[in-house]
Amino acid sequence: MIMRYKTKGFVLKKEDYLDDSRIFSVFTKDFGKVDLLGRAIRKINSKLRGGIGLFSLSDIEFIQGRLKKTLTDAVFLENFKNISRRSHSSIVACKISEVADSFIKGQEQDEKILDLLLDVFLKLDKSFEESKSNLIYQYFFWNFVSILGYNPELINCINCQKKLNPYELYFSSSEGGVICKNCYALKREGIKIKSDSLKVLRLILRRDWDILSKIKISETLKNSLVNLTENYYLYLCSVLKSNFKNV
Ligand SMILES: [Zn+2]
């Protein structure tokens, strides 16, 4: 007997497969991340093509074959069509789906991840300014890694637990948070950060978009945030790679 599965999912990636098919990497509500084969979906008369696409949320139905899961039905719930109209939001959408696709290992289901993806894609869909789109990426990244268990300590020094001096702040990716001047001097590991970056990061982790969207982010602050995010991203890439090896 063929088992049919119904769920809703967000499409992180699509790749052409054979002559007329496509494989979608979908983060689903009930089965975590799954690869679904859209058989003959690139044919003009395909029933499926009107219900699923890159960066869309769809109601989906699939069957489990011996090797692959095959899509049998798809209906759009949200397709965020404004994103592809603006290059800055398209670039951020690609970055978000790349990070999500590479950091989510497999079939762990987590509604918080799906909610976050919808939250950031709705924001991107309405984002007219490049600076806002970039901030949406930071908002996604830090909240996403927090859901995965890598939430940074931002209140006290993560090493000695002392109160932080706002003029001498460092972020240590390997320690997983902000460290004080003394701990930095001992370890020589971390990057100097501005107190404004720390404030923005705290607002991001509180998901206070009302305030975040009103902040005027200077070029210096933007560069500092980008540097900090990139630093933690590269560190987590190396951690997750070594976790994969140990499985
Ligand atoms: Zn310390």
**Please, are residues 13 and 39 in contact by the beta-carbon 8 Å criterion?**
no
Ligand 1 centroid – CA 86 distance (Å): 44
CA of 97 to the centre of ligand 1 (A): 35
H-assigned helices in 7-110: 87-103
Q: How far is the CA of 231 from the centre of ligand 1 (A)?
A: 20
Question: Ligand 1 mean position to 232 CA, how many Å?
Answer: 19
Ligand 1 centroid from CA 37, angstroms: 51
Distance of CA 205 from the midpoint of ligand 1 (Å): 22
**Torsion angle, alpha carbons of 222, 87, 145, 194, to 10:** 0
State mean pLDDT over 139-145. Answer: 97
How far, in Å, is the centroid of ligand 1 from the Cα of 138?
26
Q: How far is the CA of 201 from the centre of ligand 1 (A)?
A: 19
**Tens of pLDDT along 67-117?**
899 999 999 999 999 999 999 999 999 999 999 999 998 766 789 999 999
Per residue in 40-69, pLDDT tens?
999 999 999 899 999 999 999 999 988 899
Rounded to the nearest angstrom, the distance between the alpha carbon of 183 and the centre of ligand 1 is 4
pLDDT digits (tens, 9 = 90+) for 154-167: 999 999 999 999 99
Q: How far is the CA of 160 from the centre of ligand 1 (A)?
A: 4
Ligand 1 centroid – CA 12 distance (Å): 39
- Residue 3: per-residue pLDDT: 87
Q: How many CA atoms lie within 13 A of 197 on its CB side?
A: 24
- Residue 27 per-residue DSSP state: E
Domain residue limits, the chain: 4-78, 83-151+196-246
pLDDT score at 247: 46
Domain 83-151+196-246, architecture per CATH: Up-down Bundle (1.20)
- Strands 32-38 and 69-78, sheet pairing: parallel
List Cα–Cα distances, 146 to 70, 116, 125, 150, 177, in angstroms. 32, 11, 23, 5, 12
Is the dihedral angle over the CA atoms 188, 191, 192, 194 positive or is it negative?
negative
Q: How far is the CA of 178 from the centre of ligand 1 (A)?
A: 9
User: Ligand 1 centre from 147 Cα, in Å?
Assistant: 25
Instruction: Indicate whether 245 pLDDT > 60.
Output: no
- The span from the CA of 114 to the CA of 127, in Å, is 20
Nearest to 179 by CA among 160, 163, 157, 194: 157
Q: For residue 246, name the pLDDT band (cuts at 50, 70, 90).
A: low
Question: pTM for this one?
Answer: 0.93
Distances (CA, A) of 71 to 26, 40, 60, 226, 245: 11, 10, 7, 38, 31
Q: Which two tokens stand for residue 215?
A: 């902040």
Say how many residues make up the chain.
247
Q: Has domain 4-78 been given CATH number 2.40.50.140?
A: yes
- What's the CA-to-centroid distance between 181 and ligand 1, angstroms? 7
